[in-house]
A = this chain, B = another copy of it.
Amino acid sequence: MLKDKYFKAFAAYASCNMVLAIAASALCAYIAPAAAGSGIPEVKAYLNGVDAYSILAPSTLFVKIFGSIFGVAGGFVVGKEGPMVHTGACIASLLGQGGSRKYRLTWRWLRYFKNDRDRRDLITCGAAAGVAAAFRAPVGGVLFALEEAASWWRSALLWRTFFTTAVVAVVLRGFIEFCQSGKCGLFGKGGLIMFDVNSSRATYDTPDLLAVILLGVLGGIFGSLYNYFVDKVLRTYSIINEKGPVFKVMLVMAMSLLTSCCSYGLPWLSRCLPCPIVEDQCPTEGRSGNYKNFQCPPGHYNDLASLFLNTNDDAIRNLLSPGTKEFHISTLLVFFAAIFCLGIITYGIAIPSGLFIPVILAGASYGRLVGTFLGSLSNLDAGLFALLGAASFLGGTMRMTVSLCVILLELTNDLLMLPLVMLVLLISKTVADSFNKGVYDQIVKMKGLPYLEAHAEPYMRHLVASQVVSGPLVSFSGVEKVGNILHSLKLTRHNGFPVIDEPPFSDSPELCGLVLRSHLLVLLKGKKFTKLKVLTGLDIMRRFKAQDFAKAGSGKGIKLEDLDITEEEMDMYVDLHPITNTSPYTVVETTSLAKAAVLFRELGLRHMCVVPKTAGRPPIVGILTRHDFMPEHILGTLPRYTLPQVGLLACKHEFNFLPPLYYNEVIIIDICSLIFTIFGFSIFG
């Protein structure tokens, strides 16, 4: 690096980065493609009920950990926070399915968690622990899990995540204490508070508020732009990535080269600045530090190199440091532009890549830029501007409020800035929300995961449940022929089947309940069949134990191919009553689709039975699943009508002339949000 061997230095730097990048991308491309990207959208979708393939598998966990290490070490503009959330969720999932049989890690007592809800709870806790560990922010972790990750929330879950993050905090503190003497390299630098800015006291006046509002608006605009470009880039990359693992690795290599060029080449644009006199550690030679020498003469430092050729943590710490002298305006401008663009084009390549760090870096640099510009006009320190900039950009991309606020508080320990951080977050979120959705929601949608939104869409109010029921209904009789069951299981991919009691077991055909595919497979595997069509409830009770029906790990349940049914057994009967859920949630066919959607979502259902309104028809009209509530499906099933016509049709159907009042129990139209938005705008904008 010294003595003018600049090109050699670059070659060494770039090739180191390249090797690490290839390692990360090879892991990702060949072992676990699901480990690419942030992981937060996947966790979010899982907690919404989307059980996509291998999202939380042990191999994903392995690749996520090492891929993330290689990726961050390889100099990419990526964070480790998102991958840590995914890692936490993977570990929790492993615990939830009782360990991994494949890797011989199983615990018997974990079998109690083998059900949907407990597994979901565990994964929520895991995500919270990930954030708590990544930012050393235990309360922030709880709030992140609540605000961004979880789709359902109970007060019991609140204190469980709190317990988890408390354990994380205590363990972390233990390690940091242990590592204080420098035994573990840079680990634990900064103690429990990563970027302590507490020393710079915040005294702000009303004019400063204007600067803060400006920052908030800028953050909102930049944030929504960022989301827009990330979406476009992701769509482009997904075309490349689909061509095969080799293309994935090549894309990563190209990005690695580009990043190396930027971070090595751009500092040449910056002039050398003389070291401040008070500082005795300038220029810094070690791995970490505020002032990088780069190509400068002794006693000088290159401010751009101090940002580029540094750990991400140190770069953030530099940006948040007080004083306006340290970085030149052009430096900040170059850094912001580079990080903004690199962040956009890096996300989506086949390495585990978090979004937090790029966003914080870009936000802090433009915040500091604004602060340096306004220098004399505002009382606020440039470091505080950098913090507010980071907050506004985070708010603009991720659209979280409370959790970001607490995470930033725990990162910087600056309680007096809290009102300003809150304001800036709200403004940037409001501004950005008027352009597009949050970045994680966008990614979930782009990946085509059937994510159920918390609120029903307005057009759903004009439809009724029976209008969107799809496909031929496959139902079983209370005591059904084994052959029929097997045939239906083979022919369809449904996971729930209605069971209908028919004479002689009831007076007229009536809905007995719902039976799950996984339970049917266990029952068939048990081979408790009878020659005649009779009830055998108690017999079967002796044959099976409750845990036989426990939810297996993903991909580990009994498969249809595992069954070995003889021709003779095909003609025998099996009593489905014992495994039937006799209290499925039902809606009448004329129920408004909006209300059905609210029921489906709020109770976290997977199947909902639609029953007929009038007597004398089959006792079930159809089954609604998650996919039936997706806009694409609904608009697909109603090709003949344009939406306004559907509206009129349904209005006549329901005498629905009072839309907002009509849903007097759960009101769907959100007038309040309208008012709040207008109100919010008139205050802020």
Question: Is A662 an interface position by the 8 A CB rule?
Answer: yes
Which residues does chain B contribute within 8 Å of A588, judged by CB atoms?
511, 583, 586, 611
Set of chain B residues within 8 Å of A592, measured between Cβ atoms = 582-583
Question: What is the CB-to-nearest-CB distance from A678 to chain B, in angstroms, rounded to a whole number?
Answer: 10
Q: Smallest Cβ distance from A559 to chain B, in angstroms?
A: 19
A423 near B170 with CB under 8 A, answer yes
Interface size class of A (residues with CB under 8 A): 35 or more
Counting chain B CB atoms within 10 Å of each CB, the highest count among A143, A159, A455, A616 belongs to A159
Q: Would you call the interface of chain A mostly helix, strand, loop, or mixed?
A: helix
Interface residues of A in 395-435 (CB under 8 A from B): 401-402, 405-406, 409-410, 413, 415-416, 418-419, 422-423, 426, 429
Indicate if A604 sits at the interface (CB-CB under 8 A). Answer: yes
Residues of chain B within 8 A of A583, CB atoms compared: 588, 590-592, 595, 654, 663
Q: B546 near A661 (CB under 8 angstroms)?
A: yes
Taking CB atoms and an 8 Å cut-off, the chain A residues in 510-562 that contact chain B are 510-511, 516, 519, 537, 541, 546, 549-550
Tell me the bound Cα distance from A158 to B676 in angstroms.
13
User: A581 touches which one: B122, B405, B663 (CB < 8 A)?
Assistant: B663
Closest B residue by C-beta to A508: B615
Let me know if A665 and B166 touch, CB within 8 A: no
A293 located at the interface, meaning its Cβ lies under 8 Å from any Cβ of chain B in the complex: no
8 A Cβ contacts from A142-171 to B = 142-143, 146-147, 153-156, 158-160, 162-163, 165-166, 169-170
Interface residues of A in 585-607 (CB under 8 A from B): 585-588, 590-592, 595, 598-599, 602-607
Contact B604 A666 (CB under 8 A): yes
Distance between A408 CB and nearest chain B CB, rounded to angstroms? 11
Partner of A662, one of B581, B606, B614: B581
Beta-carbon contacts under 8 Å, A10-43 to B:
none
Residue A660 CB within 8 A of the other chain: yes
Q: By the criterion CB–CB under 8 Å, are B672 and A426 in contact?
A: no
Spot the interface stretch: A112-120, A296-304, A325-333, A348-356.
A112-120
A664 in the interface, Cβ–Cβ < 8 Å?
yes
Q: Is A579 an interface residue (CB 8 A)?
A: yes
Report how far A672 CA is from B146 CA in the complex, Å: 18
Interfacial chain B residues near A112, Cβ < 8 Å:
671-672, 674-675
Contacts of A673 in B (CB 8 A): 156
B166 and A419 within 8 A (CB): yes
- A611, B510: Cα distance in complex, Å: 13
Task: Choose from B115, B415, B665 the contact partner of A410 (Cβ within 8 Å).
Answer: B415
Query: Per a CB cutoff under 8 Å, which of B419, B587, B657, B675 touches A169?
Result: B419
A680 touches B415 (CB 8 A): no
The reply to whether A603 and B665 form a contact with Cβ atoms under 8 Å apart is yes
Question: What distance in Å separates the Cβ of A676 from its nearest Cβ neighbour in chain B?
Answer: 6
Given contacts A160-B676, A581-B664, A661-B546, contact A166 B115 (CB under 8 A): no
Closest Cβ of chain B to A468, distance in Å, is 14
Task: A670 to B658: give the CA distance in the assembly, Å.
Answer: 41
CB atoms of A578 and B655 under 8 A apart: yes
A474 CB-CB contact with B under 8 Å: no
Is A317 positioned at the interface, with any CB of B under 8 Å from its CB?
no
A472 to chain B, nearest CB (A): 23
- Does A138 sit within 8 A of B, measured CB to CB? yes
Report whether B672 and A113 are in contact in the complex, using a CB–CB cutoff of 8 Å.
yes
Find chain B residues with CB under 8 A from A191 CB. 416
The answer to whether A173 has its CB under 8 Å from any CB of chain B is: yes
Contact B664 A516 (CB under 8 A): yes
Asked if B415 and A193 make an inter-chain contact with CB atoms under 8 angstroms apart, the answer reads yes
Q: Apart from A122-B672, A138-B418, A155-B454, what are 18 other A-B pairs with CB-CB below 8 Å?
A: A115-B660, A115-B671, A118-B671, A138-B419, A139-B402, A147-B158, A163-B676, A166-B423, A170-B423, A579-B658, A582-B656, A583-B588, A583-B591, A583-B654, A583-B663, A586-B588, A604-B665, A615-B615
Using a CB–CB distance below 8 Å, which chain A residues touch chain B?
Answer: 109, 112-113, 115-118, 121-122, 138-139, 142-143, 146-147, 153-156, 158-160, 162-163, 165-166, 169-170, 173, 191-193, 198, 401-402, 405-406, 409-410, 413, 415-416, 418-419, 422-423, 426, 429, 454-455, 506-508, 510-511, 516, 519, 537, 541, 546, 549-550, 577-588, 590-592, 595, 598-599, 602-607, 611, 613-616, 654-667, 670-676, 680
24 of the cross-chain contacts (CB-CB < 8 Å) are A112-B674, A115-B664, A115-B667, A117-B672, A121-B672, A138-B419, A138-B422, A146-B158, A154-B454, A156-B670, A158-B402, A163-B680, A166-B426, A169-B422, A170-B419, A508-B615, A510-B613, A516-B664, A546-B659, A583-B590, A583-B663, A585-B599, A602-B603, A604-B665
Pairs A-B, 9 closest by C-beta atoms: A615-B615, A166-B422, A169-B419, A583-B592, A583-B591, A118-B672, A162-B401, A159-B401, A112-B671
